[in-house]
Amino acid sequence: PPTFKSLFQNVANPPEKIESVCGWIKSVRLMKKMAFVDLQDGTTPYPLKVIIRRDGNDLDSQLLKQLRTGQSLRVKDALWKPTPTRQQPFELEASVSSFQIIGQVCDTYPLQKKYHSLAYLRSNPVLKHRSNYLGALMRFRSQVETSLIRFFNEHDFTKVSPPVLTSGDCEGAGELFRVESNSRLTDKSSYFGAPTYLTVSTQLHLEVLAMALNRCWTLTPCFRAEESDTNRHLAEFWMLEAEMCFVDNVQDLTMFAESMFKFVVQQCLLNQAILLPSVIPPENADDSETIIARWKSLLASEWPRLTYSAAIELLLKQHAIEEFKFIPEWGKDLKSEHEKWLASHLQSPVFVTDYPRDCKAFYMKQNTDNTVACFDLIVPQMGEVIGGSIREDEYDTLMQELSRRGMKHNDLEWYTSLRQNGSVPHGGFGLGLERFVSWLFGAHNIRDAIPFHRSAGGSID
């Protein structure tokens, strides 16, 4: 059967009769001679209206009375009725003999036409995606991923698939999930003969691949045993990571990241009619007008760049006017409250560059003043969405940095040896997909931007 999306796209050239359409009943209203059924099939933000007419005998009305919200339904031989004066340009009309209930529904089916809060929907992970809002969010995420694929293809990047099982902690933050095996051949923790972890970032392997492919990218699940249980942290999230050779300065990287971000926004604007939810959004979420206004404003100008030192100066000035919970101090990482203030003060996404080296990971290219050639992209309300850097490409400097941090050289030999074999200046970044998607969509909790969220203390199916 045709999807609703294809029917709505065909409005200019409608068929007279549609052999079959299938979907789930969103709501049903029973009248004396007919039933008004709102069907959804998951491909559009709005339902398809179907009028089912009875011929007038009692059996007909018995059949119509069986219709319930949540049932799956097939409607055959429906007629196409234009409704130019209404919000939806057409509806379907069918006779009572032409519908068939495919799947029944429990009496306790929890999703009714009334408004459901996000907290309530999250408590029902199996059915929640059928809600108008969360269904729209999943389609939106898919659109964002599709746009990213296009962007990287257009810039000659190779899509790669780095491993998820790793031996090390790329970011050095100690937030690892350790993996054990149930194999009878080895004891639980020595399947690979060494401790094994789920990856926190695929960057190191991406650097290996970039040295062969020049430009590569991936979209991979990453895992962090975060201690912070906030609306911006997941234990399992998807990271887009890009790595490119022959770039030697942060400004070029930020320009590239900005053009990627803006490309996705342009695609969102082009597809807005099919992307945005058709109902008033749930608590705390932005409505469609606010979302579109944000997308347009993102494209209006080039985003500001600020060094970390300049950011600290601004934050200290603000601290004198209205105190932050944490005092901004050169040498300490920016807290989420500082990031949020900076971006809302500048009313724009902002690139903060050149952080002190002790705030960041071991692999970043060192500047001459104890800072590193890195950037974070910070957006209003959310804070950091992208983190990236130029990588240290000189063998001796990298080895000294490992020693300074007390890291074992042996463990990373596979990685550091890259600097001895045709090393080139290179850099890249990682974007948290759920942060990106939820921020663009005006959803205030990134848990809603992933189908099944895993976070500290939560249950897992």
- Mode of pairing for the β-strands spanning 197-198 and 305-307: unpaired
- Mode of pairing for the β-strands spanning 215-223 and 158-159: parallel
Among ligand 4AD, Mg ion, none, residue 432 binds (CB under 5-8 Å by kind) = ligand 4AD
Residue among 42, 50, 43 nearest 90 (CA): 50
Residue 312 or 437: the one with the smaller Cβ distance to ligand 4AD is: 437
Q: Smallest gap, in angstroms, from Cβ of residue 38 to ligand 4AD?
A: 35
Residue 63 or 407: the one with the smaller Cβ distance to ligand 4AD is: 407
State yes or no: residue 135 binds ligand 4AD (CB under 6 A).
no
Residues that bind Mg ion (CB under 5 A): 387
State yes or no: residue 385 binds ligand 4AD (CB under 6 A).
yes
Among residue numbers 409 through 428, which ones bind ligand 4AD (CB under 6 A)? 428
Among ligand 4AD, Mg ion, none, residue 250 binds (CB under 5-8 Å by kind) = none
Cα–Cα distance for residue pair 173/200, rounded to 1 Å: 9
Those residues whose C-beta lies under 8 Å from the C-beta of residue 76, and which sit 6 or more positions away, are 19, 20, 94, 98, 99, 100
In a 10 Å sphere around its CB, with 0-12 CB exposed, 13-18 middle and 19+ buried, how is residue 410 labelled? Answer: exposed
Among ligand 4AD, Mg ion, none, residue 252 binds (CB under 5-8 Å by kind) = none
State yes or no: residue 434 binds ligand 4AD (CB under 6 A).
yes
State yes or no: residue 435 binds ligand 4AD (CB under 6 A).
yes
Cα–Cα distance for residue pair 188/94, rounded to 1 Å: 61
State yes or no: residue 384 binds ligand 4AD (CB under 6 A).
yes
Those residues whose C-beta lies under 8 Å from the C-beta of residue 332, and which sit 6 or more positions away, are 359
CB 262 within 8 A of CB 295: no
Residue among 82, 89, 91, 211 nearest 158 (CA): 211
Among Mg ion, ligand 4AD, none, residue 54 binds (CB under 5-8 Å by kind) = none
State yes or no: residue 171 binds ligand 4AD (CB under 6 A).
yes
State yes or no: residue 261 binds ligand 4AD (CB under 6 A).
no
Among Mg ion, ligand 4AD, none, residue 132 binds (CB under 5-8 Å by kind) = none
Residue 261 or 429: the one with the smaller Cβ distance to ligand 4AD is: 429
Residue among 179, 229, 217, 181 nearest 199 (CA): 179
List of residues contacting ligand 4AD (CB under 6 A): 170-171, 201, 203, 224, 226, 233-234, 237, 239, 241, 384-388, 428-430, 432, 434-435
